[in-house]
Amino acid sequence: MRLLRFLYLNVYAFLLLASGAACILLPRELFYIIVKFLLAGLLIAMAISLFSKWSVNIRIIKVLALRNRKEMRFDTFKKFNKTFCGMLLISYTLYELRKTDNYSYLSNKELKNIKNIVFGKIPVGARRRKRAGY
């Protein structure tokens, strides 16, 4: 079970590690050698930084599970719902609490917030106006 949790929560770190290794297999021209090793080093360094946050992730899961064991408090998930790694933490925490049906509510709520930021809040009864072009 712990191995599966480690694999699930570090999916993005494994993807970065694999893409860094794939960069090394690019063609061998002189200019590309320098660029590919810089890119591979950057990707592998990012993967290592994600792997190093494993103990923090476990602590976050424990804290979220303790806060939401009796009653769901959606405000506790707000901080982690903005990144992909945070969404993995949320989904695993809800899986441990046996409340996976609440994940769709959290993801829909976050999508609405993103739409409001991108498109601006449009009142419910508002109509779009045609603008005269010059």
What is the model's pTM? 0.61
From 30, 52, 74, give the residue that closes a domain. Answer: 52
User: Does 134 reside within a domain?
Assistant: no
Distance CA 84, CA 12 (A): 9
* pLDDT tens track for 5-30: 787 778 888 998 899 888 888 777 76
Distance CA 110, CA 106 (A): 6
Q: Cα–Cα distances in Å, from 79 out to 3, 45, 92, 106, 132?
A: 26, 25, 15, 12, 43
Q: 109 is in which domain, residue-wise?
A: 53-118
Per-residue confidence band for 112, with pLDDT thresholds at 50, 70 and 90: low
Per-residue confidence band for 37, with pLDDT thresholds at 50, 70 and 90: confident
User: Does 105 reside within a domain?
Assistant: yes
pLDDT at 129 over 70: no
70 and 34 assigned to the same domain: no
User: Does 44 reside within a domain?
Assistant: yes
72 and 38 assigned to the same domain: no
The proportion of the chain whose per-residue pLDDT surpasses 90, expressed as a percent, equals 2
pLDDT of residue 106: 72
User: Does 103 reside within a domain?
Assistant: yes
CB 106 within 8 A of CB 90: yes
Single-letter amino acid, residue 38: L
The structural domain count of the chain equals 2
* pLDDT tens track for 62-93: 888 888 888 877 777 777 777 777 788 888 88
pLDDT of residue 126: 57
pLDDT at 133 over 60: no
User: Does 11 reside within a domain?
Assistant: yes
